[in-house]
Amino acid sequence: MQIPLIKARVLVLSAILSSPIVVNADNDAQQALKRIVSSDQPSGAQSSQSVEDAKIEEEKPDNLLTITTSSRGLIAYVSAAGSKDDIPVIEAPMSISVLTEERIKDIGAKTIQDALGYVAGVYNGPYGSDSRGDWSVIRGVDPVLYLDGMKMLYGYYNNTRPNPYGLSQIEILKGPASVLYGQGSTGGIVNLVSKKPQAESQGEIWAQVGSFDRQQIAMDYTGAFNQDASLLYRVNVLYRDSEYQTDYVDDNSLYFAPALTWFVGDATELTLLANVQRNETGSSTQFFPHVGTVREAPFGQIPVNRFISEPGYDGYDTEQDALTVLFEHEINDTWSVKASSRYMDSSSEYRTMYAYPFNLQADHRNLLRSVSVSDADVTSITGDVRLHAKFDWGIASHSIVIGYDFQDVETNKQSFFGSGMGGLLDVYSPQYGATPLPDPDALLANRNINRVYIDQAGLYFQDQIKIDEQWIISLGARADKAKSVAATHNAAGEFLNNNEQWDENETTTRVGLLYIFDNGLSPYVSYSESFEPMAGSTSDGNPLKPHRGEQNEIGVKFQPQGSEHLITASYFDITEKNRLIPTPTIEDPLANAQSGKAEINGIEVEAQLEWDTIDIYANYTHNDAKDESKQPINSIPEQMISGWITYRPESFLPGFKVGLGTRYVGETSFLTMIDEQSERYHTPDYTMVDLMLGYEIGQFDFMINVDNLTDKTVVTTCLDRGDCFYGQQRTVTANLRYQF
């Protein structure tokens, strides 16, 4: 890693954070309002007046108020994901979905993956119910996960799973986003927004019990240290002791996130967000074979809860420590500067075994297990510095962002894979402990350590131009320089060799055009590009080429006047180059190759409707995803439909609430061997039903959430390489929140 370059970047951020304070007296009232009123409200008790006040972000020069969320806080009208500047969703010529804290609470989402289940264009959990991480597919591609506008995850199985309790909202930006976010997938990004300190003292204590011996306690509290609310604090903490739907797998977590915000005068704001997390779980995903899941087996279907590894041996334990700095300074009426930076250190200890190859033995009962152990860690320093300018020029209003961001990342992994070392296990009547197992530490003792260094920096520009209050032109461009070096060390830490995997300079662009009709209808067209360097190599040893994509999109947004509704629809056409294709071998079950290109197009419709007593969140998605040989791509359903309705009969039964959701996922296809011939097979489509019952009285909020109400057994997808994944079983949680 280029240490001098890291130090230089840290010094740049330090200089910005310690720059002289310029106080603009004209902004005094605006800043005072900004301190006390915010759209990011904690989970504490709120009067009806404070709920309404919370929707006011700040007073605009033309004395118009920007409403950021609906009256119940379920629909978000403003997002920073699409432009790194708060703009109304209705004015963004691109597809953006925002999940508010209240929406996440209503649907009872216990994970990020759960929260994405009702979003148009998103297939959440394609690899089933997995305690190790959150998986989703957006527009046929795995998205990149961001936290507070900076990339969070690098690689796999070296990170701690994020906790949704620490979030104020989740923003889903669909399609290529490289212009603003650098290394991003063609499908889009998922940006998690952390809860931040608020001036009003309030909070909650949350107790939860549920299926699989789940016990959880959490607290969220915020307020001001002093009378003028110039120094704010927030503490978010959670502890969970739980098992999982897979036998012998835990789902334990300890999460602690203190935060401070300091208003330095009337023009400067500094926020510190700390994050300490410890998770203990195991291999809930078992990689079951086609036969026994979606294909008939002589002894029936393999039980959903079946555990293939060994009790006491299997584990996936992760740790994470992070510190984020957010800085804002208003220079004058036109210019402001915003900066963010994060240091994150994550590590994992993974011991497991699974069947590979993915098939039953000749007796149709046993699986031959392989042993896999690894120690992995990742250290990252990320930063983003932006100049914002807002000004009028004739009939045009400009909102300009000029930014520089960087990532310096080091990943280390020491691993061992032993084919067949776990012995046979009868999946219909397992007898654990029959096979002597090797000491995982001994397996790693003499293994080489693979280190990968990633260094990326980008300069970007965007101008959101509003002409005559109706035409919006969005222009963006970015220049990236990215480099990766892979090095090998022996167990003693001695350097063996290194290999430059890629060194790329790339320019990406985005352009959009939108028109706002007086009736609230806003049609738009856009073009965008993506660039994502890939670490690693193909099975033949060649470095992976960068993943590139481009998208054309046409859509319409509708926010009917006099209502709180928000309706969006879009058609997209994506061309993706250098897509990864799994090509497992006996020696390396995770080997990949790269295809020439893939073509993905589709339609998305999302409706968020809210009245006094009823709100509806409904979505439809159609995808047509083909690889270079015109074959369907794994794990991408052609059709998806979802809807959630909540009823609150305030007039005759105040405090009561009931929610009902349904999710339809169409079939997916995969190649499989039948009678020594390769044939295309399908996973069945399925529909799942979710339920919420609740009652609020005074400072207490009681809620019961049921996922998969009918306890339907579903296979979410199967892969060409031979493995399939089970979805979530019926899961019931009872929640009691005391708000104060």
Give one DSSP letter per residue of 556-605, joined into a string.
Answer: EEE--TTS--EEEEEEEEEEEES-EEE---SS-TT-EEE-SEEEEEEEEE
Exposure string (b/e) for 698-737, b if CB count within 10 Å is 16 or more? eeebebebbbbbeeeebbbbbbbbbbbbbbbbebbbebeb
- For 638-680, write each residue's pLDDT tens digit: 999 999 999 999 889 999 999 999 999 999 988 876 666 778 8
Give yes or no for residue 450 having a pLDDT over 90: no
* Cα angle for residues 250, 133, 197 (degrees, 5° grid): 100
pLDDT digits (tens, 9 = 90+) for 50-70: 333 434 343 333 333 456 888
| 52 Cβ contact partners less than 8 Å away, ≥ 6 residues apart | 71
Alpha-carbon distance 102 to 108, whole Å?
10
Place of tokens 């939108």: 514
Q: pLDDT (tens digit, 9 = 90+) per residue, 512-531?
A: 999 999 999 999 999 999 98
Q: Look at residue 676 in the predicted model and tell me its pLDDT.
A: 67
User: What is the predicted pLDDT for the residue at 584?
Assistant: 63
Give the type of residue at 31: Q
The number of angstroms, rounded, from the C-alpha of 478 to the middle of its chain's C-alpha atoms is 23
Residue 30 — very low, low, confident or very high, per pLDDT cuts 50/70/90? very low
Q: Do the beta carbons of residue 739 and residue 699 sit within 8 Å?
A: yes
pLDDT tens, residue by residue, 213-233: 999 999 999 999 999 999 999
Cβ-in-10-Å burial (0-12, 13-18, 19+) of 61 comes to exposed
Report the percent of the chain where pLDDT is more than 90. Answer: 68
Residue 270 near residue 14, CB atoms below 8 Å: no
Measured distance CA(410)–CA(381) in Å, rounded: 9
Amino acid at 719: L
Show the tokens assigned to 448: 């080489």
Domains of the chain, CATH where assigned: 3-416+443-739 (2.40.170.20)
First vs last C-alpha separation in the chain? 48
Q: Please answer whether residues 66 and 54 qualify as being in contact, where contact means their C-beta atoms are separated by less than 8 angstroms.
A: no
pLDDT of 214 reads 98
Tens of pLDDT, residue by residue over 458-511, are 999 999 999 999 999 999 999 999 888 888 888 777 888 777 677 888 899 999
* Whole-Å CA distances, 553 to 177, 424, 470, 543: 13, 51, 20, 32
Helix (H, G, I), strand (E, B) or coil at 266: coil
Dump pLDDT digits (tens) for 87-114.
899 999 999 999 999 999 999 999 999 9
pLDDT of residue 221: 98
Q: For residue 173, is pLDDT > 70?
A: yes
Question: Helix %, strand %, coil % for the chain, to 5?
Answer: 10, 55, 35
Supply the pTM of this predicted model: 0.89
Strand-pair category, 214-224 with 566-577: unpaired
Token duo for residue 56: 């006011």
Residue 588's pLDDT band, with cuts at 50, 70 and 90, is low
**Contact residues for 459 (Cβ-Cβ < 8 A; gap 6+):** 403, 404, 478, 479
- Which segments of 20-101 are extended strands (E)? 56-59, 65-67, 78-79, 87-88, 95-100
In this predicted model, which residue has the larger pLDDT, 177 or 279?
279
- Residue 264 near residue 294, CB atoms below 8 Å: no
The number of C-alpha atoms within 13 Å of 633 and in the hemisphere containing its C-beta is: 24
